[in-house]
Amino acid sequence: MNASSTYREELHTPIAHQAQVVVCGGGTAGFVAALAAARAGARTLLLERNSFVGGTMINGAGPLHSFFNLFKAVPGTSKRQLVRGLPQEIIDRLAASGFCRGHLEMDKGGDYDSVITIIDWEGFKDTAFTMLEEAGVDLLLNVQVAGVMKEGDRVTGVIIEGKSGRQAIQAQVVVDATGDGDVAALAGADYVKKHGTSSVGFPFGMARVDMRRLASYLQEQGLVTQLVRGPKDLPGGDDVIRLGFDLTRDPRFSAFMAQSGMWGPLGFSYHSDHFTFINTANKRQVDATDTRALSQALVELRHQVMALSRLLIQHIPGFEQAYVCWTPNNLGVRYTRAITCEKDLSLEEIVGGARFPDEVFLYGFHDCAPRIQIRDAGCYGFPYRALLPKKVEGLLVAGRLLTSDWDAHMSTRNTVSCMAQGEAAGTAAALCAASGTSPRALDPQVLRARLRAQGVYLGE
């Protein structure tokens, strides 16, 4: 049998669950979408392929960019918290349990992000389950969405595969928060493949790092690019929270970094002797919707991580006693399918601070700052139409699976934007389910009124 042969199967899939709102993917956007939908009164089911929720946000992304505007880049502008609502409530819950140190201002690098927010990932996993339980969200873990049910253009449910085998789930409204747009693609929505413009990453953590020694060595060498200090967990522990440094300028690393395509490193230190590298091991142009490409990248990047850690231990003061103690569950994927939606935000709209009558939150961060930043440390509105895939009914999308232009995606894909998108999509889905309306027919002003009542900031 060659690779293009097919095997015809006949399937009779049991209908195992029914829900008003089914959220596919319990990551950065999907976890918030499920909470929002359930709190807005919908019987909500959340489907996640991992054994936890949080997705990329707790598997390599950190800090969370950004609840605030870029006030440190433009002297004279004031600090504004733009993203509030449910994302802020999650931060408050984490902080109350000691799993977040709040929003910390950058000491160096404030023109990239003026305020950063770092959370404890294990603490998040437990808190997230508690919040889902409290909201009454039904949760199925270790299940992969593998198909959709449709009547005409309308999605009526999804097919999952897990330890119970293949099961069908009926839904009034489905939210695709899979990051890759798996559901929208299966449902026949149009999309563009964008992996050619981006890279996948494999973040990792090292323990027994002497952070004080490391930071002072790097400062002496003039290698520090970003620095944030703040309170830590242990009395007498170090206080370096965020640290970015440039090893490409160190001759002992430059050849290795160039050959492997590594950046930075850039990372953070939530606990006193631990450093998490978020942006270091990377591989360009991997199609993370291709199982073989995904597998090869995982093997290659794991080798890279161990090779870099050996170099750090050998050459950089502070790493003498260190070892690799954490690697992520999945490859860190930045960009795969961009689903074609009713509105596709452009870079001009983002940097120009465009506002829209149907905007569902405001956002003020761009990942290429200070090179690309939103004018006058301002913000832009995120329109509801950007969550609505063309051609398919009964479906909303949220997260890094939208925005087809790489430069614009470098803003919309960030964690805090994805969380805010999740709140809007989940709330919209619940409103639709309650009124029997399709997402495309939902009055955005009804949604905006509801979001405002939930504490979402939509401007004065």
Ligand X SMILES: Cc1cc2nc3c(=O)[nH]c(=O)nc-3n(C[C@H](O)[C@H](O)[C@H](O)COP(=O)(O)OP(=O)(O)OC[C@H]3O[C@@H](n4cnc5c(N)ncnc54)[C@H](O)[C@@H]3O)c2cc1C
Residue whose CB is nearest to ligand X in the complex, by number: 27
- Of 38 and 425, which CB lies nearer to ligand X in the complex structure? 425
State the nearest-atom distance from the C-beta of 279 to ligand X, in Å.
6
State the nearest-atom distance from the C-beta of 209 to ligand X, in Å.
19
State the nearest-atom distance from the C-beta of 95 to ligand X, in Å.
18
State the nearest-atom distance from the C-beta of 52 to ligand X, in Å.
8
Per-position b or e across 67-92, b if 16+ CB within 10 A of its CB: bbbbbbbbeeeeebebbbbbbbbbbe
Number of neighbours of residue 220 by Cβ within 10 angstroms: 10
- Of 165 and 357, which CB lies nearer to ligand X in the complex structure? 165
- Report the interface residues with ligand X, using CB under 6 A: 24-30, 47-50, 55-57, 60-65, 144-145, 177-180, 182, 201, 203, 278-279, 332-334, 399-400, 413-415, 418
* Cβ(413)–Cβ(402) below 8 Å: no
- Of 284 and 315, which CB lies nearer to ligand X in the complex structure? 284
- Of 144 and 216, which CB lies nearer to ligand X in the complex structure? 144
Q: What are phi and psi of 197, to 5 degrees?
A: -95, 0
d(CA 134, CA 361): 25
3-state secondary structure of 80: coil
d(CA 207, CA 323): 6
- Of 47 and 442, which CB lies nearer to ligand X in the complex structure? 47
As a whole number of angstroms, the longest Cα–Cα distance in the chain is: 68
- Of 26 and 85, which CB lies nearer to ligand X in the complex structure? 26
Which of the 8 DSSP states describes residue 269? -
State the nearest-atom distance from the C-beta of 76 to ligand X, in Å.
26
- Of 210 and 305, which CB lies nearer to ligand X in the complex structure? 305
Residue 191 is encoded by which pair of tokens? 């999309």
Reported as type and span, the H/E element at residue 156 is strand 154-162
State the nearest-atom distance from the C-beta of 367 to ligand X, in Å.
7
d(CA 195, CA 336): 5
Which of the 8 DSSP states describes residue 440? G
- Of 210 and 412, which CB lies nearer to ligand X in the complex structure? 412
**Which residue from 334, 234, 340, 226 is spatially nearest to 283, judged by alpha carbons?**
334
Q: What are phi and psi of 319, to 5 degrees?
A: -100, 5
Query: How distant is the alpha carbon of residue 83 from its chain centre?
Result: 15
Cα dihedral 290, 294, 300, 304 sign = positive
- Of 24 and 211, which CB lies nearer to ligand X in the complex structure? 24
State the nearest-atom distance from the C-beta of 460 to ligand X, in Å.
26
d(CA 427, CA 439): 11
d(CA 366, CA 405): 13
State the nearest-atom distance from the C-beta of 62 to ligand X, in Å.
5
State the nearest-atom distance from the C-beta of 253 to ligand X, in Å.
20
Q: Which residues contact 415 (CB under 8 A, 6 or more apart)?
A: 28, 56, 57, 61, 64, 65
Q: Which segments of 332-401 does DSSP mark as H helices, in order?
A: 347-351
Q: Which residues does residue 174 pair with via DSSP β-bridges, in sequence order?
A: 22, 395
Q: If 0-12 CB within 10 Å is exposed, 13-18 middle and 19+ buried, where does residue 243 land? A: buried
State the nearest-atom distance from the C-beta of 443 to ligand X, in Å.
26
- Of 226 and 272, which CB lies nearer to ligand X in the complex structure? 226
Number of neighbours of residue 221 by Cβ within 10 angstroms: 14
- Of 156 and 327, which CB lies nearer to ligand X in the complex structure? 327
State the nearest-atom distance from the C-beta of 36 to ligand X, in Å.
13
